[in-house]
């Protein structure tokens, strides 16, 4: 619109050569920008965004093309569960081998003693229900997560990763996710 206005003024006032030069310069810049935008999405041009306006996973570096943000959030939750199990056992975890964290689907109404007994890691040390908020803390004393510790034969509380959608890992609300701390 501004270029059109200047162009009309240029045509009506032939004596103003400075204004005419400015209009020509602007018209060239606009033409160059249009040409550059016309290349977008072509192999020699800019990267195409997906239907959500994001870069395609195959253009991302460091393996981010292999895993979604939800996969990484679930992995972070699993690492937190392992740390919670380590802190919940009186011995810190013992046995011949690595100790394991097992998911507990509360819909199946099994407690951790039963879940551990179904595996080669038959001994249950604890049940932990944990959750963490997304985002970075901005001040000292902010609540960033929550947890409960339960005995192995307790099956009343906690939520289940198994029956949750991927998006649930990003919501800070009940239910907590429930895990069993098992060892050989």
List, for residues 45-58, the tens digit of each pLDDT value: 556 667 766 666 66
Distances (CA, A) of 5 to 8, 21, 30: 5, 14, 15
pLDDT, residue 82, reads 93
pLDDT, residue 8, reads 63
pLDDT, residue 39, reads 67
Q: Are strands 123-132 and 177-183 parallel, antiparallel or unpaired?
A: antiparallel
Q: Is the pLDDT of residue 15 over 60?
A: no
- What the block records as the tokens of 131 is 């959750």
pLDDT, residue 123, reads 93
| Half-sphere exposure at residue 41, Cβ-oriented, CA atoms within 13 angstroms | 6
Q: Is the pLDDT of residue 44 over 60?
A: no
pLDDT, residue 5, reads 60
Stretch 77-88: mean pLDDT, rounded?
91
Q: Is the pLDDT of residue 94 over 80?
A: no
pLDDT, residue 3, reads 59
Compare 164 and 116 and report the one with higher pLDDT: 116
Indicate if the alpha-carbon torsion angle 23, 27, 32, 34 is positive or negative. Answer: positive
Residue 26 — pLDDT band, cuts 50, 70, 90?
Answer: confident
pLDDT, residue 31, reads 84
Can the peptide bond before residue 117 be classed as cis, meaning omega within 30 degrees of 0? no
Residue partners of 82: CB distance under 8 A and separation at least 6: 101
pTM for the model: 0.64
pLDDT, residue 141, reads 92
Residue 83 — pLDDT band, cuts 50, 70, 90?
Answer: very high
Residue with token string 């944990």? 130
pLDDT in tens, 138-160: 999 998 888 888 889 987 677 78
DSSP code at position 89: S
The 3-state DSSP class for residue 114 equals helix
pLDDT, residue 40, reads 63
**Helix (H), strand (E) at residue 90:** none
Q: Is the pLDDT of residue 118 over 60?
A: yes
Residue 121 — pLDDT band, cuts 50, 70, 90?
Answer: very high
**Cβ of 85: how many Cβ atoms within 10 Å?**
26
């Amino acid at each position: 619109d501004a270029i059109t206005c200047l162009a009309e003024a240029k045509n009506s006032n032939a004596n103003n050569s400075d204004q005419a030069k400015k209009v020509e310069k602007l018209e060239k810049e606009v033409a160059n920008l249009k040409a550059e935008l016309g290349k977008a999405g072509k192999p020699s041009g800019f990267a195409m965004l997906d239907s959500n306006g994001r870069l395609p996973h195959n253009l991302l570096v460091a393996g981010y093309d292999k895993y979604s943000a939800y996969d990484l959030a679930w992995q972070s939750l699993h690492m937190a569960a392992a740390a919670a199990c380590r802190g919940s056992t009186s011995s810190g975890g013992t046995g011949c081998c690595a100790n394991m964290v097992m998911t507990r689907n509360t819909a199946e109404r099994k407690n951790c003693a039963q879940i551990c007994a179904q595996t080669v890691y038959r001994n249950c040390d604890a049940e932990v229900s944990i959750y963490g908020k997304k985002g970075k803390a901005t001040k000292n004393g902010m609540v960033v997560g929550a947890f409960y510790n339960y005995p192995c034969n307790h099956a009343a509380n906690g939520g289940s990763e198994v029956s949750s959608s991927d998006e649930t890992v990003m919501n800070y609300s009940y239910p907590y996710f429930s895990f069993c701390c098992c060892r050989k």
